[in-house]
Amino acid sequence: MASIAQDVPARVRPKLGRDDWAMRGLIIAIGLYLVVTLALPLYAMMSKSFEIYAFQPDRIEFQVDEGQGWGPVINALERGEELGVLSRDDLITTADGRMQATRFFPDFSFLAETRYRIRNTQPTKGGFMIRGEQVTHDEWVEYSSADFRRVTLRPAQSKGLGNYLTYFSTPALFSSIENSLMIAVISTVVTVTLAFGFAYAMTRSCMRFKGAFKMIAMVPILVPSLLPGIALVYLFGKQSLVLKVLEWLFGAEAILPLWQTLVQGGYGPTAIYGPIGIVIASVFFTFPHALLIIMTALAIADARLYEAATALRAPKPRIFWTVTLPGARYGLISAAFVVFNLVITDFGVPKVIGGQYNVLAVDIYKQVIGQQNFQMGAVVSVVLLIPALIAFTVDRMVQKKQVALLSARAVPYEPIPNRRFDWLMFGYCGVVAAFILGVLAVCQYAAVIKFWPYDLTFSLKNYNFDVMDGGGWEAYGNSIRMALYTGVIGTGLVFLGAYLVEKGRGFGPGRTMFQFLAMMPMAIPGMVLGLAYIFFFNDPANPLNAIYGTMAILVICTVTHFYTVAHLTAVTALKQMDPEFEAVSQSLKQPFYRTFSRVTVPVCLPAILDISIYLFVNAMTTVSAVVFLYSPDTALASVAVLNMDDAGDVAPAAAMGMMIFYTNALVRIVHAGGTRYLFGRTQAWRTR
């Protein structure tokens, strides 16, 4: 076989055409966008988590002149320990740490005539500071006692594992890991089970109103994850709506003792503030995600397997365990990891209803916003990245196998009507749908009454957002603007990127690299991304610093945050196109952008609209990443929900949350209409 190598012909180096150069340039440009908006910020965050700030009193020396000339040189560390005013723990601090120089002189009085000298022996960072000016050189500086009281020691920065050591030796911090994992696991089990039942009803029964049920099941996607939390507060909180209804039904004497044992025992004033509440709300907002995946897995079932099993006289339960479940196993695993990831990285639910129950995502927020401890925020982010990365990796591996199943030529399964079974399934779906709509109804009800539970008259005062914390109606306007920019710019960027990577010629390493970059955002929790942006873009040395605090950074962050799913949608649509379109165009000597605009975009228009809707809806509801990045001028509706809820304006928070829902629902309806119109108009060539 192998030819005997005498004069082997020279290797051919393909010459690149104009198209190849343009496409490579564009891939590199979009790749660079992802590097700058994802990889570099993450790197900045990683290195931040290793930054340690500590006071360096061993480098500071004092001299005192009490009117008899300069006394002996005093080392600050030695003196501090000698006098017992300084312990090792006092040395660890944050970037903004300050230590009063007078701490080393317990008898200090700023009225005394004493003069002080201070010197930083090692001219590195750290040193000391007075009136905002930092001194790092190693010359003596002299102060009157009136000035000396303003001198503060500054910490020096170094790299090390110190922050991690602190994290893992502080039970209040690392106990969140266990909490987060437990919440995520329980929510996953509950959601996947419920969603499987729902998906089973949708694909295996002949119940009525399937369309309506599916629509209702998708509703949670349209609301911020804060909203179910708020609804639970109303339903089971201190002024429980459920309790009021029960009292009205059975009388307070009958119901109150039972309520107090069941609901108000356990975790404090009401059990709903804590893990139970987090799990219920998490199940609510992750339900549609799990449902979509499991429904797809069940829908691809092969009817022939069922026919064979029935012909072999297998009883129904046996068919379920031997055919249905194994067929959907990849879908179930994939759904489980997606839900796990969503729950463990979610910030809205535990923020609203978590009470004292700490989880990782909220810890990041608390460290950064509450305590301004950015290094510790970075540490928690890195800790949160680990389970998110594992869940992401497993999901990707499983998804690949699911695709392999899909390509098999199967006969689609058609359910057979069965009165009892169909009604049973209808009842089940009815309960789930009622719960979902109930959550919305409670929020809407709370939003339009004056003051629960004391004044139940109708009022729109809760919509007067401008008098409340959070940014007012302007925030709502900002959100819509942000969502529109994200939808338009994001869709363009994502689709072009996917096109180049799918249909480009050659440039293998570049395209592989790009694929990897495009997959990364999915593994990065929103809180982590937002915090990483602070570290990267808020650095004055960064030339992109100018976008910090603007609408641009919110749009960029949101596009990057939701890049992966949009990219995968685009890739799927592009893969369905004939791979030879590009070859034909090249043979006809047409530039790639002409084929792209005249053929690719029109044919993929439904997918492009899907992507833009996905980005719009998520931009409207997202809280996690943008909560670190908005400025007073760019407050967002979803963040306003959070802030109003935080400030105790729960009803206005619910009102704003419902505004987001109505906006998203409207956009969805317009999208559905637009798609239908599009299919009608292009019926001539779309054979579907």
Regarding 460 and contact with other proteins (CB under 8 A), the answer is: no
Residues 640, 646, 648, 650: is their CA dihedral positive or negative? positive
Tell me, rounded to whole angstroms, the distance of Cα 622 from its chain centroid.
7
Query: Least distance (Å) from other proteins to the CB of residue 23?
Result: 11
Integer angstrom CA distances of residue 399 from 329, 485, 498: 11, 31, 19
Nearest to 236 by CA among 352, 357, 358: 352
Regarding 409 and contact with other proteins (CB under 8 A), the answer is: no
Query: Least distance (Å) from other proteins to the CB of residue 606?
Result: 12
Closer to other proteins by CB, 4 or 408: give it. Answer: 4
CB-count burial class (<10 Å; 0-12, 13-18, 19+) for 332: buried
The b-or-e profile of 545-565 (16+ CB within 10 A means b, else e) is eebbbebbbbbbbbbbbbbbe
Regarding 16 and contact with other proteins (CB under 8 A), the answer is: yes
Query: Least distance (Å) from other proteins to the CB of residue 610?
Result: 18
Among the residue ranges 81-89, 209-217, 444-452, 575-583, the one whose residues contact other proteins (CB under 8 A)? 575-583
The residue type at 450: K
Q: Count CA within 13 A, CB hemisphere, residue 206.
A: 8
Query: Least distance (Å) from other proteins to the CB of residue 686?
Result: 8
CA distance 14 to 293: 43
Regarding 2 and contact with other proteins (CB under 8 A), the answer is: yes
Beta bridge partners of 134: 129
Write each residue from 487 to 526 as x if it is in contact with other proteins (CB under 8 A), else as -, in one continuous string.
------------------x---------------------
Query: Least distance (Å) from other proteins to the CB of residue 16?
Result: 7
Query: Least distance (Å) from other proteins to the CB of residue 577?
Result: 9
Among the residue ranges 75-83, 171-179, 313-321, 583-591, the one whose residues contact other proteins (CB under 8 A)? 583-591
Beta bridge partners of 155: 55
Query: Least distance (Å) from other proteins to the CB of residue 506?
Result: 8
Neighbours of 402 (CB within 10 A): 18
Regarding 585 and contact with other proteins (CB under 8 A), the answer is: yes
CA distance 655 to 640: 11
Regarding 313 and contact with other proteins (CB under 8 A), the answer is: no
Q: What is the largest CA-CA distance in the chain?
A: 110
Query: Least distance (Å) from other proteins to the CB of residue 7?
Result: 9
Closer to other proteins by CB, 474 or 610: give it. Answer: 610
Query: Least distance (Å) from other proteins to the CB of residue 211?
Result: 27
Regarding 106 and contact with other proteins (CB under 8 A), the answer is: no
CA distance 35 to 44: 12
Regarding 157 and contact with other proteins (CB under 8 A), the answer is: no
Regarding 609 and contact with other proteins (CB under 8 A), the answer is: no
Tokens of 313: 């006289």
DSSP letter at 124 equals S
Among 137, 598, 633, 679, binds other proteins (CB under 8 A): 598
Regarding 296 and contact with other proteins (CB under 8 A), the answer is: no
Cis amide bond preceding 453, omega within 30: yes
CA distance 230 to 643: 12
What residues numbered 664-683 form the site for other proteins, per CB under 8 A? 682
Among 492, 586, 674, 675, binds other proteins (CB under 8 A): 586
Whether residue 363 contacts residue 525, with contact meaning beta carbons closer than 8 Å, is answered with no
Query: Least distance (Å) from other proteins to the CB of residue 516?
Result: 20
What residues numbered 18-57 form the site for other proteins, per CB under 8 A? 18-20
Write each residue from 535 to 554 as x if it is in contact with other proteins (CB under 8 A), else as -, in one continuous string.
--------------------
Regarding 15 and contact with other proteins (CB under 8 A), the answer is: yes
- With contacts defined by CB under 8 A, how many residues of the chain interact with other proteins? 39
At residue 149, the 3 state secondary structure works out as coil
Beta bridge partners of 156: 54
Nearest to 629 by CA among 555, 542, 524, 564: 555
Among 581, 609, 665, 671, binds other proteins (CB under 8 A): 581
Pairing of strands 92-93, 128-130: unpaired
Closer to other proteins by CB, 511 or 668: give it. Answer: 511
**What does the binding site for other proteins look like in residue numbers (CB under 8 A)?**
1-3, 8-20, 505, 578, 580-581, 583-591, 594, 598-599, 602-603, 682, 684-687
